[in-house]
Amino acid sequence: MTARILFWTTERGADLPELCRVLTHLDLHLLVLGELQPGQVELVEDALGMDGYVGAGTEVTPHCNAVFVRPGGPLTVLREHTGEHTRAPRIPMVNVEVGIRDAPGSIVVVGHHACFYGPTLRQIEAEWFSRVIQAHGRVMVFGDFNEPAVGEEPDLTGIRDRAHFHDRTYYVHGIGRVPDHRADEALTTAGYVDLAKRIGTPTALAPTAGYAPGAAGQGGELRIDRAYADPATAEAIANFQVLRGYEDLSDHRPLLLTADLPRLQAAAASGQAQRRAKAAAKQRWREQLRATRLAAEAGPRS
């Protein structure tokens, strides 16, 4: 038994009817889309028969991230988080808690679109992900990170577009500007697994953007669209592909993942067990402190 998951950064919602027509043939259970425009979540819901959950837009841009789940499938949305994730400086993340059929527990699914022009803003956005994995333990993150992973940086001498050079680098005192990969470093340091690297095949590690005419002079094709998960959830990912052949629909290629449902169930269940054990241990600790305090208060007074 498997669950099929797809992440795709649209090109500002362009060609969405044709994009949805393509998606209808992929038999998806979970879909994460980026750069949707106002009113387009409903269009996707109607076209695919899926339930949509959207991150709020901002005054900076109307772009939004959205998660879609197929009703009656192996995954169901238990809760939509609408608090802390809305603090992303440019495009708020969509953040939903997904349950796995016939299993206790849940997995948080986050859709992210990093700031394309501000390396400092991207770092601020990425720092938040340590909070999610620490609080819930079971997380999947899908995002256009607008920068490469560690070890996949472009040759800076090949970037002729000077504004883009600024956008994809940051300044280090005494060295100068260096390629920005701090989002990947932040996530992996916090315990996330890069799912494409875990699978390790050329299809999984293929570049996802940089092929469109507007990207000329920006360093070539790079794998800036990525998916991460905590180690237990990562073990459930059986296949990962960067899909080619749809470059006319977006300036980003989609990521298609296949998850082993029993392993996904086990990850969700073990995550819940760990959270409950942690809460119970904290409660016992407080009760012991309270008992000690009360005993001291009841003792003889000098």
Residue 261 sits in a domain of what CATH number?
3.60.10.10
> CB–CB of 60/34 below 8 Å?
no
Calculate the dihedral angle through the C-alpha atoms of 226, 232, 238, 243, rounding to the nearest 10 degrees: -10
Residue 120 has pLDDT above 70, yes or no: yes
Q: For the residues 203-215, what does the mean pLDDT come to?
A: 89
List the one residue out of 84, 108, 104, 6 whose CA is nearest residue 50: 6
List the one residue out of 107, 140, 146 whose CA is nearest residue 32: 140
> CB–CB of 67/73 below 8 Å?
no
Residue with tokens 């990525």: 226
List C-alpha distances in Å: 178 to 25, 123, 153, 158, 170.
42, 14, 9, 13, 6
* pLDDT class of 92 with cuts at 50, 70, 90: confident
Instruction: For residue 69, give the 3-state DSSP assignment.
Output: strand
User: Quick one: pLDDT at residue 88?
Assistant: 66
CA pair distance 258, 3, nearest whole angstrom: 6
Residue 105 has pLDDT above 60, yes or no: yes
CA pair distance 182, 205, nearest whole angstrom: 19
Angle between helices 182-189 and 119-127 (to 10 degrees): 10
* pLDDT class of 25 with cuts at 50, 70, 90: very high
pTM, rounded to two decimals:
0.93
CA pair distance 16, 24, nearest whole angstrom: 12
Give the domain extent around 290: 2-298
* pLDDT class of 106 with cuts at 50, 70, 90: very high
* pLDDT class of 213 with cuts at 50, 70, 90: confident
Task: Output the six-digit token pair for 54.
Answer: 């959207």
- What's the whole-number average pLDDT of the chain? 91
Instruction: For residue 264, give the 3-state DSSP assignment.
Output: helix
* Domains: count for the chain: 1
pLDDT tens track for 61-82: 778 899 999 999 999 999 988 7
